Structure 1
Amino acid sequence: MALILTFLGKGGSGRSTCAIATAKKLSAQGQRVLLVTEDAGPGFGLLLGHEVASIPTPLGSNLWCLQLKFAQLLEQNWEQLKKLEAEYLRDPFFKAVYGQELSLLPGMDQALTLNALREYDASGDYDVIVHDGPGNQASLRMWGMPAGIDWYFRRFKQVFQASQFSKAVMPFVQPLAGAVLSGGKGLSGDLFNQPEVQQSTGLVGQGIAAVKDPMRVRAYLVSSNNDIEIATARYLWGAAQQIELTVAGVLLNRSPAKSQDFEPLPVYVLPAPIGDWQSLMASLPDYVAAPSAPAPVEIDLATNTVRLFLPSLDKKQIQLTQYGPEVTIEAGDQRRNLTLPKTLQGRSVTGAKFQSGYLILSFG
């Protein structure tokens, strides 16, 4: 499994430069590094000083680079879907639709990027994957996608199975589904617990665990001393905590003057561009070491409290609701469904306060 590094910040703050320098530094240390960019234009290749292709291309010892091309990824994934359909359905109906006809819909690029990163991670060919993405809310929606899919599946499964409609139709749906599936396998038991469904939910669970693990996925804020860039980076920092993505530090271009805006994160002051990469590489963090950033969520069962780290946000930007076993928190344009441990499920929120960057929830 690889360590995946990504960068958050306003456009023009230097995210791509930091991604390239990070890839160069880690590859020079002997790590096998794949540098992945979502930039479809020529800018990234010019900055890198090397042509970028849609397949991993070696740039030197231990370093490969890849430019994601979403139309191509869509075609590849569509063909995989058709193979699965042909395997499980007696009469596939997608066979007359070709990947070359498909257009990208909003949000598809995020899903395709996440799946591509998952596949390159699973290949075992790389120790580190350095991701150069848009670095904004779109990136955060991508990293939060596994948790979102998991919530939809769990919530709708629960609602469906508890409904009178489910109880009425399932005796008819199961034999009908068994007749449609090829091989005469048939179906028995819970449709949601079939092996194919379990495999998909297993991948989702792995994605959720990876995003929460700072030794698997980690983000760094990139900013200069510009007020707009600082405000944007701080906002993205708070929003990242909503999906439990660890923000491990700040790469601050050229000026330490406002590093206090990011406390308690470590701040790394980067030099001005000087024509080569060596001084920039030397100023970057030790990515191999475990980060010391605050945990996004802390649960204390002894006091029946949950602490959520939401830096840069204030109580006016946070809305809290509770439905059933989960608490929904809206903050930083991110909606999060917090699944409670069993000992807290069924208990109501009796208190909520915002203190020193933490939202502290108490349960009765």
Structure 2
Amino acid sequence: MAFCVLYPSLFSENLTPLFRNLRVPRGRNGARFMANSRESSQSPTKLVTFLGKGGSGKTTAAVLAAKYYASEGLRTCLVIHSQDPTAEQLMGCKIGSAPTECSDNLSAVKLETSKMLLEPLNRMKKVDARLNLTQGVLQGVVGEELGVLPGMDSIFSALALQKLVNFRSDERNAAPKEFDMVIYDGISTEETLRLIGVTERARWYLKYMRSMSEKTDIGRLTSPSLLKLAYDSINLNSGSSEGKTSTDIWNEVEQILERASASFTDLSKFRCYLVMDPMRSVSISSALRYWGCAIQAGTHICGALGFNPQSYAVTQEVAEKFSPLSFALLPYIGTDPFVEWETKLDSLDQSTKDLLGANIYFRPSVTFDSLQKTVTLFMPGFDKSEVKLYQYRGGSELLVEAGDQRRIIKLPPNMHGKVIGAKFTDRNLVVKLR
């Protein structure tokens, strides 16, 4: 329950545009961008992010991707969540917490958690003033006095990105999109992985909080009031909890989280790439590891990108390590503030453009064989000593732990049963059931 009360706008219907008065999208030749582009104006906003070791070029890749999409006539927004000035130098413009239009079709914003604290607090204050739940105590809290606690950065990144891409909506209530592409450059790869998995993990917590609210005396006493405060704060401008039972509210929140979680496996909404320096073995090893971690977090990797090495042999060797992922090269880009972006974009080969356009194939991370009663989990970047397997719920699901991530695998009804063996071979964990 605390999660919903502290961070109500995670499910917010208030999709007030962060960016207004954008120019009509134009491509590199100056022509207006029409719906026959690969990224149709009718398709949902796509969130793109990059994973890799620190110093591997994630920020550079994010800026390059933003420049590329904008040059193709796509309305693009680069979102950074760091005080590092690298993105500003590469973009050639000052980026602040308010939206900045840097060039045709390209805007940028820097997320600052201390400022993002204010909106959800003010929303709860307005509802509390009407309900008088805290008897005025909440009204005395001054948002500007509150500091940022560990974990808040990831939560408020999720809130800000939710407003831009609206993962929690369905097609019937989707608001008009402001952007075709949102490029997110997070604080670190680990934080980005937490962000990717947050909605699915929140569903676990929600299940237990709901059980506590329905089966304990204190839950039955306090839950209705807290639910009403949270729900009315969320829907401040679009309705209230009047006429809704606690069961209705719990079910609605569960549906919202389920839609948001599914979006991270939908290529029409989310793309995630690995980035590395092909000349550094530690950078390659880290990218392989993050490939497995991303699967554990609940998403797919669209491809691997490396900055152009001097040796063709190196390129081939790296590409083989990441097979069956597509591997493409990015041009070397220094941190000089005067980057010749036109030249850099012209140097992109077709394979790189195809990869950024998500013209890809990826293998499923889980396959079920009902005849052999086996479950095969694709787990690149790990070895067998790092994988732990648990079973709960009477044999209806598996819990796999690896890479500081836990993942639940729900088994098909005809495969429910006890685990009788498991082996790790060729980057796959093969689980045998009885």
TM range (shorter): 0.7 to 0.9
Change (3 A) 1:82 1:268: same
Note if 1:215 corresponds to 2:284: no
Note if 1:238 corresponds to 2:292: yes
SS at 1:238 equivalent: helix
Give the structure 1 partner of residue 182 of structure 2.
129
Note if 1:24 corresponds to 2:94: no
Q: Deviations over 1:215-267 (max 9, x none)?
A: 21121111112011111111111111102211111111122153322122111
Q: Deviations over 1:275-301 (max 9, x none)?
A: 423454324342334431222233444
Q: Tell me how far 1:77 sits from its aligned partner.
A: 2.4
Q: Tell me how far 1:158 sits from its aligned partner.
A: 4.6
Structure 1 contact 34–56 (Cα < 8 Å) conserved: no
Structure 1 contact 8–222 (Cα < 8 Å) conserved: yes
Change (3 A) 1:85 1:341: farther
SS at 2:207 equivalent: helix
Decide which of 321, 338, 353 is 2:390's aligned counterpart. Answer: 321
Q: Deviations over 1:51-86 (max 9, x none)?
A: 112132222222111111111111122222333444
Structure 1 residue runs without a partner (length 5+):
none
Structure 2 contact 47–183 (Cα < 8 Å) conserved: yes
Decide which of 295, 318, 322 is 1:258's aligned counterpart. Answer: 318
Deviates more, 1:18-27 or 1:47-56: 47-56
Q: Deviations over 1:163-186 (max 9, x none)?
A: 6xx3x6777668888999999958
Note if 1:6 corresponds to 2:49: yes
Note if 1:357 corresponds to 2:401: no
Distance between the aligned counterparts of 2:93 and 2:379, measured in 1? 39
Q: Deviations over 1:197-217 (max 9, x none)?
A: 334333311220111212211
Structure 1 contact 215–290 (Cα < 8 Å) conserved: no
Q: Deviations over 1:296-330 (max 9, x none)?
A: 23344454433222102111110011121432211
Query: What one-letter code is carried by the residue in structure 2 that aligns with 1:228?
Result: V
Decide which of 147, 171, 192 is 1:103's aligned counterpart. Answer: 147
Give the structure 2 partner of residue 59 of structure 1.
102
Deviates more, 1:310-319 or 1:247-256: 247-256
Structure 2 residue runs without a partner (length 5+):
1-43, 167-174, 233-239, 310-314
Distance between the aligned counterparts of 2:253 and 2:380, measured in 1? 33
Deviates more, 1:144-153 or 1:282-291: 282-291
Change (3 A) 1:12 1:178: closer
Decide which of 392, 395, 406 is 1:335's aligned counterpart. Answer: 406
Change (3 A) 1:210 1:87: farther
SS at 2:89 equivalent: helix
Cα RMSD for the two superposed structures? 3.0
Give the structure 2 partner of residue 118 of structure 1.
162
Change (3 A) 1:234 1:86: farther
Question: How many residues of Structure 1 are paired with residues of Structure 2 in the alignment?
Answer: 355
Decide which of 277, 287, 297 is 2:341's aligned counterpart. Answer: 277
Give the structure 2 partner of residue 311 of structure 1.
380
Structure 1 contact 220–249 (Cα < 8 Å) conserved: yes
Query: What one-letter code is carried by the residue in structure 2 that aligns with 1:353?
Result: K
Q: TM-score when scaled to structure 2?
A: 0.74
Structure 1 contact 175–186 (Cα < 8 Å) conserved: no
Q: Tell me how far 1:134 sits from its aligned partner.
A: 3.0
Decide which of 353, 362, 365 is 1:293's aligned counterpart. Answer: 362
Distance between the aligned counterparts of 1:9 and 1:301, measured in 2? 36
SS at 1:247 equivalent: coil
Change (3 A) 1:184 1:272: closer
Q: TM-score when scaled to structure 1?
A: 0.87
Deviates more, 1:171-180 or 1:74-83: 171-180
Distance between the aligned counterparts of 1:104 and 1:235, measured in 2? 30
Distance between the aligned counterparts of 1:321 and 1:139, measured in 2? 26
Change (3 A) 1:316 1:272: same
Note if 1:72 corresponds to 2:115: yes
Deviates more, 1:287-296 or 1:140-149: 287-296
SS at 2:53 equivalent: coil
Indicate the percent of aligned positions where both proteins have the same amino acid: 28
